[in-house]
Amino acid sequence: MAPNQVVTIVGAGPAGIAAALTLAEYGVPAILIDEAEHIGGQYYKHFGVAPGSSRGRELDQLRQQGRERLTALERSPVEVRLGTTVWGFFEPNRLALVADDQVEVLEAPSVLIATGAIERVAAFPGWTLPGVMTAGAAQRVLSHDGVLPGRRFVLAGTGPLLLAIATQIVEAGGDVAAVVDCVGLTAPVRGLRHAQAVVGQPRRLRQWAEYRRALRRAGVPYFHDYTVVEARGEGELREVVIAGKDAEWNIRPETRQVLEADTLCVHFGFTASTELAQLAGCALAFARERGGWYVAHDDGMRASLPGFYVAGQVSGIGGADLAEATGALAGLTIAYDRGVISAEVYHRETRPLRRTIRQGRAFARMLNEVYTPPAAIARLVEPTTVLCRCEEVASSQVDQAVSAGVTTLNGLKRRTRCGMGFCQGRVCSQVLGSYLEHRYGVAPEEAGVFNARVPLKPVPLGALATIPDDET
């Protein structure tokens, strides 16, 4: 099989799997790469411990769906390479991989980027304490290892995922002290203009209703239009301070409450993982209805760089159904671009996918506009609050940089070391963007994004030593 015939798919979540299976259906060879040890991404959960045991009805269902996808891949000619991290892109069209402490440079003239998203967080006093984590991290520990990452939980932030994970924790025997929803009762009012999109999603509406019923039965307090104000503890989380807020995130002091907890799970939506696309030179775009920054693409999921395609969350934040539809569309587009299928077949097969994508985008637009917190969330930040936890840069240091004329993320990186740590700005870029917009009126498009640099993910020095001399 000649290298230039193979499509390299980076990301084995719902979008990557759908693209791989579509390519296989039309005889286009593909390699599916993911840094995890199991396929499915964060949606189709794999259970690494006691696979015969139950993790709750919903997680068990996702496990079964993930197994079905795995079975389909095993029966296909797709080459699946798990436990493999893509850490660089080098011209012309070469991906740098690392697996089992061995580096490989892969010729990849056709690349489909389906790298997913990461959770959006917010900065507030105490958010760097041990015991504070993202809600998705708690779900991963529960779904993969079958254990709870704490004993008494508070879940705070925005969006339906809070309800889902709170329900899963309760089903697993955890004690949920409260669900703190920053949007709460205002969401239906703000979402009225998206009524048609909501009506078209009966399954999701049923899910939300089931979550609320399950939490009510468990006696879990639900706070609407509240936010986490502070996390407290000496060396580890002991208390969570919450309070009511208005639309501009002004705290109502008379509503402050202190909740005992050893685990605080925060979730403020998602943001696309665009680093690989940036490194390759693909153009980005910004739209709040797509969750912020995403990889620009045409209606066939082609990125701006020839030979590059995108699918899933990296093309705009949405759900798993939308991700799978964009993955299948990208697969069909690649087959069409290679002349494997005719224009007639392409248009016939993509028509229902485009309809699904339109519906999915409409629903995602509602979720992103209603649940993505405004820049005013940065009102929670105090002068000593850390904004970049990797480099321990406080907001006062950012203020000094802005007073010197710095108004971009890359400018802050040079001035303060924000974004130079282990996460390479994946976490603090969200926090800094909100802070610059709220406090100084700097629009996201003006603040920009951190430049992507090699290595995208940590690579052992010993692995780098295995690079062939002619590739060094």
pLDDT digits (tens, 9 = 90+) for 162-177: 999 999 999 999 999 9
Extract the tokens encoding 234.
């000496």
Please report how many Cα atoms fall inside a 13 Å half-sphere around the Cα of residue 59, on the Cβ side.
28
Residue 53 has a pLDDT of 46
Whether 121 has a pLDDT exceeding 70, the answer reads: yes
**CATH code, residues 121-268:** 3.50.50.60
Burial of 85 (0-12, 13-18, 19+ CB in 10 A): buried
pTM for this prediction: 0.91
Residue intervals of the chain classified under CATH 3.50.50.60 are 3-118+270-369, 121-268
Domain 3-118+270-369 has CATH 3.50.50.60: yes
Whether 17 has a pLDDT exceeding 80, the answer reads: yes
Question: What 3-state class would DSSP assign to 153?
Answer: strand
Neighbours of 103 (CB within 10 A): 20
Please report how many Cα atoms fall inside a 13 Å half-sphere around the Cα of residue 397, on the Cβ side.
19
Burial of 4 (0-12, 13-18, 19+ CB in 10 A): exposed
Is the CB of residue 424 less than 8 Å from the CB of residue 453? yes
Beta bridge partners of 267: 157
Cα separation, 174 vs 153, in Å, equals 8
Largest CA distance in the chain: 69
Q: Which region among 42-46, 216-220, 270-274, 375-379 has the lowest average model confidence (pLDDT)?
A: 42-46
Share of the chain above pLDDT 90, in %: 73
Is the CB of residue 310 less than 8 Å from the CB of residue 114? yes
pLDDT digits (tens, 9 = 90+) for 234-256: 999 999 999 999 988 999 999 99
Residue 41 pLDDT class (50, 70, 90 cuts): confident
- Higher-confidence residue of 146 and 433: namely 433
Which residue is listed with tokens 């259906």?
25
How is residue 466 annotated by DSSP? T
Residue 185 has a pLDDT of 52
Whether 51 has a pLDDT exceeding 80, the answer reads: no
**CATH code, residues 381-447:** 1.10.10.1100
